[in-house]
Amino acid sequence: MTQIIPKHLIKDMPSIAYTGKTIIVTNAEDAEIASEELMQEDIFGFDTETKPVFVSGKSNSIAIIQIASSEKVYIFHVKRFPIKGKFKEFLESPKYLKVGVAIRDDVKKIYKYHKVQTEASFDLTVLSKERGILEAGLRTLTARVFGRKISKRQQLSNWDNFPLSESQIIYAATDAWLCRELYFELQNCKP
In tens, the pLDDT along 88-144 reads 999 999 999 999 999 999 999 999 999 999 999 999 999 988 888 877 789 989 998
Pick the closest to residue 103 from 111, 113, 95 (CA basis).
111
The CA radius of gyration of the chain, in Å to the nearest whole number, is 16
Separation between Cα atoms, residue 110 and residue 86, nearest integer Å: 16
Q: Which CATH class is domain 7-188?
A: alpha beta
Contact between 71 and 43 under an 8 Å Cβ cutoff? The reply is no
12: confidence class by pLDDT, cuts 50, 70, 90: confident
1: confidence class by pLDDT, cuts 50, 70, 90: very low
Pick the closest to residue 87 from 25, 164, 155 (CA basis).
25
Q: Quick one: what percent of the chain has pLDDT higher than 70?
A: 94
Q: What is the pLDDT of residues 56-80, one digit of tens each?
A: 878 889 999 999 999 999 999 999 9
3: confidence class by pLDDT, cuts 50, 70, 90: low
CA-CA distances (angstroms) from residue 14 to 9, 151, 168?
Answer: 10, 11, 20
Separation between Cα atoms, residue 102 and residue 125, nearest integer Å: 7
Q: Look at the chain and count its residues.
A: 191
* The pairing of beta strand 43-50 with beta strand 97-100: parallel
What residue ranges do the domains of the chain occupy?
A: 7-188
HSE, CB side, 13 Å, CA atoms: give it for residue 62. Answer: 26
Separation between Cα atoms, residue 35 and residue 38, nearest integer Å: 5
| DSSP assignment letter at 73 | E
Separation between Cα atoms, residue 33 and residue 25, nearest integer Å: 9
